[in-house]
Structure 1
Amino acid sequence: MKITIHRGASQVGGCVTEIESDGYKVFIDFGEQLPGAEKKEPLKIDGLNYGDVSKSALLISHYHGDHIGKICETNANLRIYMGKTALEIYKCLEQRLSFIPKKEESEKHKEIVERIEKINTFKALQQIKVGKIAVTPLFVDHSAFDAYMFVIEANGKRILHTGDFRGHGFRSKGLLPSLKSYAKNIDYIISEGTNIQRPNATIQTEQELQKDFERSFGKNKYNFVLVSSTNVDRIFSLYHASKKAKRCFICDSYQAKILKIVSENHKQYSSFYNIDYANKTTPAGRFFVLNPNRENFYSFDGELKPYLEKYGFCMLIRSNSRFQPLLDEYAQSDATRVYYSIWSGYLDNNKKTFDESLYDFLKPYNLEYKHTSGHVDTETLKAVFGTVNPKRGIIPIHTEAPECFQNIFREQTIISLQDGEAFDCTQNVILK
């Protein structure tokens, strides 16, 4: 068995991992590099985007673009697998993006919509066979819903690929018990390390953040929250915070569609994903869906406006001009708050990830920052490594500082690879 990190050994995003055994290949993720990242040569990988793919499969850990964004570059006959709910959310997102005005970008998203029609789906613990390689998906908490780790087994060796995960989300309590049950006798862990240089990135749990929003919604009548449309758990927590603060909850039809996908698939497992659409009697959590008016903007029309102004609301927004008139109308009120609930790096003009259009959209408003990371912190990594206790070592991925693994996890064997290097699991050596 061989491991190759084609990209991601020393960068966040754009990761591609290959695990090969007896000519069969499992690839994990094939995504775009993050905005502002150093441009690198396009990858040409045998069994993924050229050559014979009959003995290959691509597994997508979750729907973020830096993990799935390059699927249209794969061979059309390649088998691709993804979580069922994750695929539905991703399809909804890409269908939405296929209508953006820029033709080149629109065509790209239409191509993705067509490609994902052929993706196979899996559920947690549903084993996938690729020749003699067996892959078992393990459900994890991340800022993308329906995300997975993978246990890969072949030729007597077992590997845990963590994907992106965290220990401070709503569904994180199952992390260590799941690893104890299903990640036994692991030889190698391929682990993300996004926050390895940011030890304070996870100072709040999602539960604490929800309480924080609940208090703010109670104090302030008109609440606008800019949040990623696919950060599903965050959005459901905003709904529950609104309900407890006795505020109405407002989103557009696209966002409502994503919430409905998750609710229909998962409300039977947890009341957290249950929205009371039928509530017409109390403002607490009353759900309103806005559609654009004749001028193609969002507005509170007819009897809705006095009702919302009487009881207050939480409204989800994105950096889209359709939301601007409502923001401008309410921004001057002392009862209004505009919250930014996405990673702060997009608004920092000293970072490569700076998003000028997002910055310009939010510039007129006084922002209140309320966010917590979608990635694992150092203490949780220690707990994961201690629980799994890999027999042979840990391979860093999805990190800008793989050297920090050696400094922090001294009791573990750290194997640092370069992009494109192959590691022989049988001989336990890097192949030159």
Structure 2
Amino acid sequence: MKMKAIELIKSIRELNDDMVDAARNVSLDVDDDALVADLARWAAKRCGEDEADVLREVKAWAETDSPFPTLRDILEVGAECNEEHDNPPPPWKFRDFLGFRGMEERNEWYKKRVHITIHRGTKQIGGSITEINMGETNIVVDLGSQLPGSHGSLSDDEIVKELFRPFRSHIDAVFFTHYHGDHTGLMDKIPSDVPIYMDSAMLTILRKLHEHTGNKVMQELLANHNGRIHPFTAGETLRIGDISVHTFFVDHSAYHANMFLFEGAGHTILHSGDFRSTGYMSKSLNIIPGLIHDSYHKEVDVLLIEGTMITRSSEHLLTEWNVKKEAMDFMRDHRQIFVVCSSTNFDSLTSICRVAQANHLPIYGSPYIMEMLKTFSDMAGAYTGLYDLPPIKGIDELKRAHPKEGVVLLGSLLNRKKEDAYSLYDRYGCYMSDYKPHLIYSMWQGYLNPKHPAYDEGLATFVNRFGDEVKYIHSTGHADRATLAKFIKDIAPRKYIVPFHTENPAGFKELDVEDKYRDMMIFPQDGDTIDVGGGEIWYE
């Protein structure tokens, strides 16, 4: 059946090299009325329809949608593709215009298509969004909101609008590596017809988290009444259209984080997510290369690898065992301790609670922290006794007993008003007899630096009230340079290494790796598309 002209205009995939001719003849500075008239004339001629009828249909369409920015983009690409380029794009960079001579040629091209687009994260930490296209299947990995102080090429609203705009290739699934907000913060913006995949432990934790936040939209989404969320267990292999997804458990400051190996159209892509080698479960990192090479008998063509610590190499990194040792030494000498630590940083909270127990110090926490720790402990208890926690008393018990000693878990205290954070010091302190407070700060110190874009005034105000009585004990959730280099060597990618989740991608060139791996490193901008297969159809 012959395509109608209006459908031709709407369908980006079906636009072929005829559009280049249209681009040559249409001034890109004309107003929308002139633009649509030229497009209608072109489409009517190609489809053998009356130009006036097509023009009426296009105008009616324009009243309900805003197609012209999209169409203008197509024309600009078509025009650019016919210019002589003094500086041709690098071989990995996909040129957006394709001209198909027919559906058979189009179908053949899509069978071999392997594209990666890092929509955000090539030069910033957090706000991670990556799209992977294999064959005719399109998967997005993480849909994170930007961290405080970050300024990506597109805002949260702009990037959601771009990913899910009308007439764009449909997203077949969104996969999430872990539950931190810079990876999940835009989850509630995913259209209702797009399936969501996440670790079953992550789903449980997010439900608890949003019971606390009171986010009704997320609560309804996570209740999963319509079954659009597909929980998996690390180690499973899933099939989404043309893509197989191998899932791997990896250690991170978020419990049960995941790496994904995407396989399709004759290629493999490993997305690292966030990972580290300093946690209690860090041995998982050494297992992954063996699973890929020996169990699945796969090679990795492209390694997408996080690089948070590339710009933080001067920071003194502690393992979780170091956290436990330093907390032990501190609690021997101090008996009234407040702890600022993310309520989802299970490893560090476990270390602090176990040390408090060893020093015979009672532990107090808010109902939310107590519930989160119980959730973590119940899940981990199926695998190991490492996370068995001592009894934790509620804040109400602290108020009633007025103890002379104890450890009080306060959570992260981020995003508090300055006045509120200031008063917390006295609000909790007044419940301690002979108040002699000390603080263990177990979070990133950038939040306390007034010169850093991520500075949190409320949190810094609270910490500063303790003066010199602060002990900084923090284990990062991210891989240091030595770990990044070892992981690259162990994975041994064959084609490209693409850093993301980093402020300094070029810093990967300084890692202690062989030259062949440095030569594989490419540094796209946000929104660039990497053509992994290297195949494109191009007509001059």
TM range (shorter): 0.7 to 0.9
1:271 Cα shift? 0.8
Residue 235 (structure 2) aligns with: 125
Q: Secondary structure at the match of 1:415?
A: coil
CA distance in 1, matches of 2:231, 2:316: 31
1:178 Cα shift? 2.4
Given the superposition, is the C-alpha separation of residues 428 and 189 from structure 1 closer, same or farther in structure 2, using an over 3 Å criterion?
Answer: farther
CA distance in 1, matches of 2:392, 2:143: 37
1:156 Cα shift? 1.6
1:21 Cα shift? 1.4
Residue 97 (structure 1) aligns with: 213
Residue 358 (structure 1) aligns with: 459
Residue 483 (structure 2) aligns with: 380
CA contact (8 A) 2:139 2:173 kept: yes
Superposition misfits of 4+ residues, deviation over 6 angstroms: none
CA contact (8 A) 2:340 2:441 kept: yes
Mapping 1:149-164, distance limit 5 Å: 149-164=259-274
Instruction: Please tell me whether residue 242 in structure 1 is matched to residue 352 in structure 2.
Output: no
Residue 208 (structure 1) aligns with: 322
1:336 Cα shift? 3.0
Structure 1, 410-419 or 136-145: larger mean CA deviation:
410-419
Residue 533 (structure 2) aligns with: 426
Q: Secondary structure at the match of 1:262?
A: helix
Q: 1:166 aligns with which of 276, 283, 286?
A: 276
Residue 222 (structure 1) aligns with: 336
Mapping 1:24-423, distance limit 5 Å: 24-38=137-151, 40-41=154-155, 42-44=158-160, 48=164, 56-98=172-214, 109-118=215-224, 119-182=229-292, 184-201=298-315, 203-275=317-389, 285-291=390-396, 299-301=398-400, 304-305=401-402, 308-309=403-404, 312-318=405-411, 319=413, 321=420, 323-329=424-430, 335-366=436-467, 367-408=470-511, 409=513, 411=515, 412=517, 413-423=520-530
CA contact (8 A) 2:177 2:183 kept: yes
CA contact (8 A) 2:356 2:363 kept: yes
Given the superposition, is the C-alpha separation of residues 21 and 401 from structure 1 closer, same or farther in structure 2, using an over 3 Å criterion?
Answer: same
CA distance in 2, matches of 1:190, 1:182: 15
1:364 Cα shift? 1.8
CA contact (8 A) 2:250 2:258 kept: yes
Given the superposition, is the C-alpha separation of residues 200 and 171 from structure 1 closer, same or farther in structure 2, using an over 3 Å criterion?
Answer: farther
- The residue type paired with residue 163 of structure 1 is G
1:289-329 deviation digits (Å, cap 9, x = unpaired): 234xxxxxx8420xx33xx42xx321101437585445433
Q: Identity across aligned pairs (percent)?
A: 30
CA distance in 1, matches of 2:341, 2:369: 11
Q: Secondary structure at the match of 1:272?
A: coil
CA distance in 1, matches of 2:160, 2:186: 12
CA distance in 1, matches of 2:427, 2:160: 47
* TM-score, scaled relative to structure 1: 0.86
1:376 Cα shift? 0.6
Between Structure 1 and Structure 2, how many residues are aligned? 399
- The residue type paired with residue 262 of structure 1 is F
1:332-382 deviation digits (Å, cap 9, x = unpaired): 958531121111111111000011122223332232211121111000011
CA contact (8 A) 1:53 1:78 kept: no
CA distance in 2, matches of 1:202, 1:51: 49
1:287 Cα shift? 2.4
Higher strand share: 1
- The residue type paired with residue 267 of structure 1 is G
CA distance in 1, matches of 2:535, 2:135: 17
Given the superposition, is the C-alpha separation of residues 380 and 50 from structure 1 closer, same or farther in structure 2, using an over 3 Å criterion?
Answer: farther
- The residue type paired with residue 236 of structure 2 is Q
CA distance in 1, matches of 2:175, 2:198: 6
Q: Secondary structure at the match of 1:339?
A: strand
Instruction: Please tell me whether residue 2 in structure 1 is matched to residue 120 in structure 2.
Output: no
- Higher relative contact order, chain-length normalized (CA < 8 Å, sep 6+): 1
CA distance in 2, matches of 1:125, 1:56: 21
1:117 Cα shift? 2.5
CA contact (8 A) 1:248 1:287 kept: yes
Q: Secondary structure at the match of 2:526?
A: coil
CA distance in 1, matches of 2:340, 2:328: 16
Q: 2:133 aligns with which of 20, 25, 30?
A: 20
User: Which sections of structure 1, spanning at least 5 residues, go unmatched?
Assistant: 99-108, 276-284, 292-297
Structure 1, 195-204 or 264-273: larger mean CA deviation:
195-204
CA distance in 2, matches of 1:422, 1:45: 18
CA contact (8 A) 1:317 1:323 kept: no
1:179-217 deviation digits (Å, cap 9, x = unpaired): 222354111100000001222435211111111111211
1:255-307 deviation digits (Å, cap 9, x = unpaired): 111111112222131112222xxxxxxxxx4421234xxxxxx8420xx33xx
Residue 103 (structure 1) aligns with: none
CA contact (8 A) 1:48 1:75 kept: yes
1:331 Cα shift? 8.4
Q: Which has the larger radius of gyration?
A: 2
1:110-146 deviation digits (Å, cap 9, x = unpaired): 2222222332211111112110101111111111111
1:376-400 deviation digits (Å, cap 9, x = unpaired): 1000011101111001121010001
CA contact (8 A) 1:63 1:90 kept: yes
CA contact (8 A) 2:200 2:231 kept: yes
